[in-house]
Amino acid sequence: MADLPASDLEFGVTITEPADGSAVAEGQPVTAGGSYAFPDLGEDPTGAGDHPTTERVEVSVDDPSFADPIEATLDPETSTWSAPVGVLDPGEHTLHARAMRDGTASEVASSTFTVSSPAAVEWQVVDKNGATDPEAWQTASGFASWSFGFDTAAHGNGPHTVVVRVVHGDVELARQTAAVTFR
């Protein structure tokens, strides 16, 4: 048995960006995107039922009711859509999208993704071989090439340990120490 040919009556959307299960860096604007299809109802040569139609794609973040939807920009050449949804707070978010033809909505597509904090270098100075203070971490400038400065007088004379770590969100990925003596 052969598959039926495409009917040109497809109606709906897909979401490809941000992909389901993906992560987006905190502080970066999120642009959603995907593909769409509206039914091709053919031509009306007599004009009896000819009337203009409005076709659009609506996008909503964390709101399946579409109370305040964002209207996407459509590219009819590629049948794709895109919509800037802005900078989102860290955590899990669900993007909802639907095609609209006049007042008729397609099925809703959704994609759940996470906005996560980018990795950072943090540091602190402790007494020699002392424990770090969870509240005392300070963020270094930069990441691939990082630096920080401090006033040695604030720590007193004698042996100390400079502790540097790489964190991603709340997860420590690496730690390095250096023994120093302040005079």
Query: At 165, is the pLDDT very low, low, confident or very high (cuts 50, 70, 90)?
Result: very high
Pick the last residue of a domain from 64, 92, 116: 116
Domain count, the chain: 2
Residues 137 and 83 in one domain: no
According to the model, what pLDDT value does residue 148 have?
A: 93
- Order of strands, sheet of 158-168, starting from the edge strand that comes earlier in the sequence: 138-139, 119-127, 158-168, 171-182
How far apart, in whole angstroms, are the C-alpha atoms of residue 107 and residue 89? 27
Tell me, yes or no, whether 43 lies in a domain.
yes
- Residue 68's domain comprises 12-116
Same domain, residue pair 42 and 70? yes
In this structure, is residue 4 part of a structural domain?
A: no
Q: Which two tokens stand for residue 58?
A: 């609506």
Last residue of a domain, one of 62, 95, 116: 116
pLDDT higher than threshold 90 for residue 44: no
Domain's final residue, options 99, 116, 133: 116
Whether residue 6 is contained in a domain is answered as: no
Whether residue 7 is contained in a domain is answered as no
Can you tell me the mean pLDDT for 110-117? 91
| DSSP string over the chain | -PPPPP-S---EE---BSPTT-EEETTSPEEEEEEEE-------TT-SS-----EEEEEEES-TT-SSPEEPEEETTTTEEEEEEE---SEEEEEEEEEEETTEE-PPEEEEEEEEPPEEEEEEEEETTPPPPTT--EEPB-SSS-B----GGGG-SEEEEEEEEEEETTEEEEEEEEEEEE-
Cα four-point dihedral sign 64, 100, 40, 36:
negative
Determine, yes or no, domain membership for 53: yes
Are 106 and 126 contained in the same domain? no
Mean pLDDT calculated for residue range 172-178: 94
pLDDT digits (tens, 9 = 90+) for 127-162: 998 999 999 999 998 877 889 999 999 999 999 999
| Res 50: pLDDT | 59
105 and 124 both lie in a single domain: no
**Model confidence at 5, in pLDDT bands (50, 70, 90)?**
very low
pLDDT at 48 over 60: no
Is the pLDDT at 123 greater than 70? The verdict is: yes
Pair 82, 111 in one domain? yes
Same domain? 23 vs 65: yes
- On whether residue 142 sits in a domain, the answer given is yes
> Are residue 110 and residue 132 in the same domain, yes or no?
no
pTM of the predicted protein model = 0.63
Distance CA(125)–CA(137), nearest Å, equals: 9
Asked if residue 5 is part of any domain, the answer here is: no
The tokens of 53 are what? 């139609």
- Which of 117, 135, 132 shows the shortest CA–CA distance to 164? 132
If asked whether residues 123 and 110 sit together in one domain, one would say no
Please report, rounded to a whole number, the percentage of residues in the chain having pLDDT higher than 90.
70
